Structure 1
Amino acid sequence: MTTTGEEHTTGRGGPWWWTRWRSAVLDVGLASLSAVECAFEGIRFARDAGIPLAAGIVFGVLAGSALLFRRKWPIAVVLVAIAITPAQMGYLMGIVGLYTLAASELPRRIIASLAGMSLVGMLIVMFVRVRQDMARGDLDLGDWFVPFAAITTAVGMTAPPLLLGLYVGARRRLMESLRERADSLERELQLLAERAEERAEWARNEERTRIARDMHDVVAHRVSLMVVHAAALQAVARKDPEKAVKNAALVGDMGRQALTELREMLGVLRSGDGSRRPAPSMPLVAVGVAAAVAASRVVDDGEGPCLEELEELIGQSAAAGMVVDLSVEGETRLYAAEIEETTYRVVQEALTNVHKHAAGAKTHVRLAHRVSEIAMQVENEPPPEVSSASSARLPSGGNGLVGMKERVSALGGVFVSGPTDAGGYRVSAVIPA
């Protein structure tokens, strides 16, 4: 696993301003070396200045110890190094201070200004020192050597730590930006995972609703007609045997059709992934999703009901004793499979509700083909007081209207239902084509 920026920031464990103990030990060691260096150089400075040696040593130790604060106040350390450059001491402090300054987050103009001051100070001091050595006879070279040695030494002690600090600072900023980006990506992935979980939960709920709606549409209409015919068969069994035989045949046909439709849906489920059946340990949600996919596959393959089967549907209701009037407006044309199935299911469920709640009532089914939409309306008149099928006692789960509205709304349509002024009931829907 990678260490993110947040973990890097919260991993502070050093004393005072240090983030780690290792950094504190390193700075203490560098400050000690700088103090020792400045102490030895302070002896020579005290002799040249004519002050006590102890004062020069103490001054050197105090000046060199300033390197301890290089991470906290890098500007102050570099200024101290520049200030003691004329005393020919603090070379280690100057090199480390420039490196720390260049690697810090300070503005570039401040870094360039202090680096230029350090370069000029070192250049002047080295020029004077080399010239003095040549005057004393310690060096027997030409006059060209004085500026050459001064420039070379000044650049050599200023440029390398400055360039190295700039490189380390840029690399450190790059790593911090990469850590922040990793943190941002991690948070985004977490949000995406949460949203995916929410979408999956929403999809599971939608599939459950869809499965229930499809099963309701497939079974309710057929079974309702079967119950109506069974009630009629019970009423005329002794009085009119021929009609009883006819009703019994109709009941059988309805049952076979209902079983066929169920078999088609469940058959696609069973062969959705080859011939493999769901394992007993498969969650119910997975089975539900598979059922919904199977149902949608039936629609996509064109195996669902279509508008051409409306006349057969109305004929079945008429055979059950309902007076149904079908009127079609506009030019008949083909629609998408889901639009034709939704139109069929709305009319089917509306007729089923008439069988349940208004048995024997005359019903008008109107279908209108328009330019950019298809409209349907199923309206029944008030039911008669006495009906031969009134003893059927058809149960109602109260989900028919909800399922119709969900189907129509899923296609961007409008669904309206309610009682009429004459005492009947009307179901209307408009679906974009």
Structure 2
Amino acid sequence: MSATGETVESDARGAPGGLWWWSRRRSVVLDVVLALISAVECAIEGASFADEARLPAALGALLGLVIGSTLVLRRRWPIAIVLISIAITPAEMGFVLGVVGLYTLAASEVPRKITAVLAGMSVTGTLIITMVGFQRDMAREDYAPPMWVPPLVSVLMALGLTAPPVLLGLYVGARRRLVESLRERADGLERELSLLADRAAERAEWARKEERTRIAREMHDVVAHRVSLMVVHAAALQAVALKDPEKASRNAALVGDMGRQALTELRTMLGVLRADEGPAESSAARRDEPAPLASVAAAASAAADEAAGGPRLDGLEALVGQSRMAGMVVELSLEGDDRRYAPRVEQTAYRVVQEALTNVHKHAPGAEARVRLARRVSEVAVLVENGPSDRAAADAGLPSGGNGLVGMKERVTTLGGGFVSGPTDAGGFRVSAVIPDRAARAERAQAAERVVEPDEAARSV
């Protein structure tokens, strides 16, 4: 690993800056101390070698001092340090230089092939010099050991000076790389956890918005229709109160019934929401965890849609009857066999008809309307169409928030259906929706598979 890379990594981890190629100040101190030890050793051995070579001892000591001091560059140029130690092997000097240089080389990011070649050169050089020196010393002392002693001593000496620093350097380098990889993995996991937390917060916020939208849609469907009819009947009651007391009494009774129905639906919806705000949401609030909020919101939405008191398709005739009693001419057409669908499908179809009739009361007073419901095998088709408004009819003055069509489309598209609305050529307005029943489709597919399997078994027999 280069000094520049170490400095960059040190700065990235927030370590104190170093000098030149050192990443930390204590590394400077360590290398300077090792260089001083190596310089002293090489100076002593250099003087001894110069004396044997009949050269000035001061020259040998000075040369050894310079060569030993190069160890201070071991982190910057480890290959050069090892080559210097191999080059001075014949002078029998540089023990500290060679050992520390081999360790630094093995622990660095130098390719392993280069490390192996230099370690082999060091072993070979040490082996040869040791064998020559051993035989020379034995000749001086007039001692003739067995033939196997010089090679054995030389091999042990060469391996003892080379193998330990190389193996230790390889271990330290591998451990350093492992620690770096673990640190990078930990940083990556921390970033992933941060992203997951952000996504969880976004999902929680999305769930809150969806829940608010759903509650607003339910309130709109319940309040807008019932209250609109109540306003229409109240206007009719005001008009006939003095002329026809009996009709005024009936209208008053209808207003009371519609008010009670609206209150019942509101209580049912709010009761379901309160039931779903139980332990799960309170524990989430205590723990401040956003993820459970999404599940609570989804559960509340599903429970509210499938509430026992929710409207179903069998209540369409009563719904149309209320509009008729308010003075609207409504034609109801039911097609297909009487069958049951999933609660959300029937409730969505009911709400589409309800909102469409409410819009007729609001925007086309006195207009005739036609409601068509087609029951199919795996879907429900709804069509509500009204003619042009009767300008002679009294306007009830009902306010409009402009969210009715949006709410209908959201309900239908959530179930995977199609919704179309727009004016007709005759000057009226049309609302059309096709709502699939996925549960019925799944049952048909399973039934088809059960029928196909016996046929295939019979053909194979």
Please report the TM-score for the alignment, with normalisation by the length of structure 1: 0.92
Gaps of 5+ in 2: 1-8, 438-461
Q: Quote the residue 2:425 is aligned against.
A: 421
State the shift of 1:267 in Å: 2.2
Q: Quote the residue 2:80 is aligned against.
A: 76
Among 368, 380, 384, the residue aligned to 1:378? 384
Q: Quote the residue 1:314 is aligned against.
A: 320
| Alignment root-mean-square deviation, CA | 2.6
**Closer/same/farther in 2, CA of residues 287 and 28 from structure 1, 3 Å limit:** closer
Is 1:254 the equivalent of 2:258? yes
Is 1:405 the equivalent of 2:409? yes
**Contact kept? 2:11, 2:17, Cα under 8 Å:** no
Q: Which region of structure 1 is more displaced relative to structure 2, 46-55 or 286-295?
A: 286-295
Among 221, 228, 232, the residue aligned to 1:228? 232
Among 180, 186, 193, the residue aligned to 2:190? 186
**Contact kept? 1:210, 1:292, Cα under 8 Å:** no
1:346-370 deviations in whole A, cap 9, x for unaligned?
1100000011111221111111233
Gaps of 5+ in 1: none
* Residues 322-361 of structure 1: pairs in structure 2 closer than 5 A: 322-361=328-367
Is 1:31 the equivalent of 2:35? yes
Counterpart residue identity of residue 149, structure 1: V
**Closer/same/farther in 2, CA of residues 257 and 351 from structure 1, 3 Å limit:** same
Partners of 2:280 and 2:232 in 1: CA distance: 39
Among 36, 40, 47, the residue aligned to 2:51? 47
Partners of 1:369 and 1:36 in 2: CA distance: 102
Q: Which region of structure 1 is more displaced relative to structure 2, 316-325 or 24-33?
A: 316-325
**Contact kept? 2:204, 2:293, Cα under 8 Å:** no
Q: Quote the residue 1:197 is aligned against.
A: 201
**Closer/same/farther in 2, CA of residues 196 and 292 from structure 1, 3 Å limit:** closer
Corresponding residue SS for 1:382: coil
Corresponding residue SS for 1:162: helix
Corresponding residue SS for 1:392: coil
1:151-176 deviations in whole A, cap 9, x for unaligned?
00101111111111111111111111
Partners of 2:136 and 2:298 in 1: CA distance: 97
1:227-251 deviations in whole A, cap 9, x for unaligned?
1111111111111111111111111
Partners of 2:169 and 2:65 in 1: CA distance: 26
Partners of 2:404 and 2:67 in 1: CA distance: 91
1:4-60 deviations in whole A, cap 9, x for unaligned?
x78754425111100001111111111110111101101111011111111100111
**Closer/same/farther in 2, CA of residues 378 and 235 from structure 1, 3 Å limit:** same
Q: Which region of structure 1 is more displaced relative to structure 2, 299-308 or 333-342?
A: 299-308
Among 67, 71, 75, the residue aligned to 1:63? 67
Equivalent residue pairs, number: 424
**Contact kept? 2:355, 2:404, Cα under 8 Å:** yes
State the shift of 1:188 in Å: 1.7
Corresponding residue SS for 2:348: helix
1:278-319 deviations in whole A, cap 9, x for unaligned?
9xx999x99999788545313234442111111211111112
State the shift of 1:258 in Å: 0.4
**Contact kept? 2:203, 2:294, Cα under 8 Å:** no
State the shift of 1:255 in Å: 0.3
Partners of 2:150 and 2:414 in 1: CA distance: 91
Counterpart residue identity of residue 351, structure 1: L
Please report the TM-score for the alignment, with normalisation by the length of structure 2: 0.86
1:369-420 deviations in whole A, cap 9, x for unaligned?
3344322110001122322xx2421111111111111111222222111111
**Contact kept? 2:207, 2:293, Cα under 8 Å:** no
Relative contact order (alpha carbons < 8 A, sep ≥ 6): 1 or 2 greater?
A: 1
